[in-house]
Amino acid sequence: MTPRSTPPGITLEMCVDSVDAALAAEAGGADRVELCANLLEGGTTPSPGTIALACERLAIPVHVIVRPRGGDFLYTDAEFEVMRRDVLAAKAAGARGVVIGLLTAEGDVDVERTAELIALARPMSVTFHRAFDMARDPYGAIEALVGLGVERLLTSGQEATALEGLDLIADLCRLAGERLVVMPGGGITPRNVGRILAASGAREVHVHAAEMVEGPMRHRNTRCYMGGELRPPEFARAVTTPDAVRAVREALG
């Protein structure tokens, strides 16, 4: 694969988990945010209040992930009904797009249910998220998404990071052409973003940029904690800052 120079006009989408993080992403130069909750689980649907306030406060587009839980992407009837209602709620709040992903038990795109959510979402933009990276046949999956009229695919190339999945991402970009935007995401940093974009030919990129900061609590009960054993520190949190986002923007040239 012959590397190409990074093309101009790259769209930078930042993955954020709060209104404050979304505002920081905008201040740092993001073109769009993907608004989530529970990033330790890969992102789930944020609260109605978070969606509404983000849409009210931000000038850049807000795309809302619609994912009722962590884990796999095979949903029960009740979970799918939650997704239907969350799509409508995001639209009513003023979101510019939704981010969805549904698979069958066999690992194919769930075409029927995806089509239903797309119909509910319009005129919002629709992105199919990294559920794609769990599909059994990436080439069949991308053709299914093109047929459904999805605008955008977020993928790490079916590997742990976009850098590891770069060959498949480049293939998908070539196959999709102008029919669908292939957006690399997963482990992208200011150090590797240029290489990923130059080698793949992608014109949009999805990044999560945050740093651990100590919380402001002076009283700290260290004998207990909220959540499971595998957890972030109770009195520190990952925070998206304008400087972290700006570093990615500057790496894009």
Q: What percent of the chain has pLDDT over 70?
A: 91
> Hey, what are 35's tokens?
């608004």
Residue 160 lies in a domain: yes
CATH number for the domain including 215? 3.20.20.380
Q: In this structure, are strands 204-207 and 11-16 parallel, antiparallel, or unpaired?
A: parallel
Range of the domain at 201: 11-251
Tokens 């770069």 appear where? 166
Number of domains within the chain: 1
Contact 136, 142 (CB under 8 A): no
In sign, the C-alpha dihedral spanning 164, 166, 169, 175 is negative
Q: What is the pLDDT of residues 208-232, one digit of tens each?
A: 988 777 878 888 877 676 665 555 5
Q: What is the pLDDT of residues 48-58, one digit of tens each?
A: 999 999 999 99
Residue 123 lies in a domain: yes
Residue 35 lies in a domain: yes
Residue 105 lies in a domain: yes
Q: What is the pLDDT of residues 75-99, one digit of tens each?
A: 999 999 999 999 999 999 999 999 9
Residue 129 lies in a domain: yes
Mention every residue, 6+ apart, whose C-beta is less than 8 A from residue 49. none
> Hey, what are 82's tokens?
């939650």
Residue 3 lies in a domain: no
Residue 4 lies in a domain: no
At 211, the amino acid letter reads E
Nearest-angstrom CA–CA distance, 72 and 113: 15
Residue 2 lies in a domain: no
Q: What is the pLDDT of residues 11-24, one digit of tens each?
A: 999 999 999 999 99
pLDDT for position 214: 81
